[in-house]
Amino acid sequence: MKIAKVIMSVYAWLTFRPGYMLLTADDRALAGEKAGKFRQGWLGIISVSIIWSFACVGLWHLTITFANDQGPMSPIPAAAVLLPFVLWFYRRSIMAMAKVCFPRRRDERTILIVVIVALLLLYFLDVRGQAEEHGSWYAYWLGDWQWLRPRASYRPLLLGPLWGAWAMLIMPQFSRANKDTEPAIAAYADGCGPAKAAFMMAFPLAGSLYYFNHLSWWQISISALAVLSATVGGLVICKATGGLKRRSLLAVNILTQLVFYFAYLTNRVFLGA
């Protein structure tokens, strides 16, 4: 009972945090808040994305333990992670991506949403089959600090949300707010300068280089493609939306995550992981 109260208290606290609101709140809820509240939203987006990434790993680990699933694919943990991903935390991001691609065609938007969900399910189903490191010197070098280098299959789950969050930080550096930009997003962009975006890039980039160095040298393409999708993809999305808007920020988040996950799979499966 106490655990449930703690969870509800944390959720109630998150509900009105600017970073969480930018990712999950209704547009009307955002418009009802003072725009200045979102100047530090960039830090909130990074923070809640880190919390989400650890929650994904924890949820995956718990479900695979209790399900006692020994097969090459794990549908129960995959569903446990996918459902809150698409129905809660990134629901608006997926919808934004569909609206950016098909602003006036509802049927096509629905098809794209189904495709995005199917791609995410395909990735999550494959998590169990991802090769682990064997005989790595890191196991001896880290000792009690082994938790800094978790199982290889968990590493993309940890880093994907962080790359998506960083994509929302870098977009305002190339696409400025205009008269059509929502006040909350204009304030967010004003508070998220190039120095902050560059500094925050160090975390997903360093994590990717460190966590994936058991792959072939092609593993640098994982980070490169994530950066490319966040910058070039962000520019294309902003052009499609007529400038910096909330839906363009949300769309680039999910785009960058998808590119990151499948760049990792490509490296692992086809490039000699």
Alpha helices in the chain (DSSP H): 2-15, 18-24, 27-31, 41-67, 75-84, 91-101, 106-126, 138-142, 155-174, 183-191, 194-211, 220-241, 246-270
Amino acid identity for residue 51 in this structure? I
Looking at residue 74, its pLDDT comes to 76
Closest CA to 82 of 106, 111, 118: 118
Looking at residue 17, its pLDDT comes to 85
Low-confidence ranges of the chain (pLDDT < 50): 134-135, 137, 140, 273
CA 44/CA 200 separation, integer angstroms: 12
Looking at residue 142, its pLDDT comes to 54
* pTM for the model: 0.90
Domain ranges of the chain: 13-270
Alpha helices in 16-90 (DSSP H): 18-24, 27-31, 41-67, 75-84
Is 213:219 a contact under the CB 8 Å cutoff? yes
CA 247/CA 231 separation, integer angstroms: 16
Amino acid identity for residue 131 in this structure? A
Q: Which residue has the tokens 């909330």?
A: 246
Looking at residue 3, its pLDDT comes to 63
Closest CA to 246 of 27, 95, 86: 27
DSSP state of 271: T
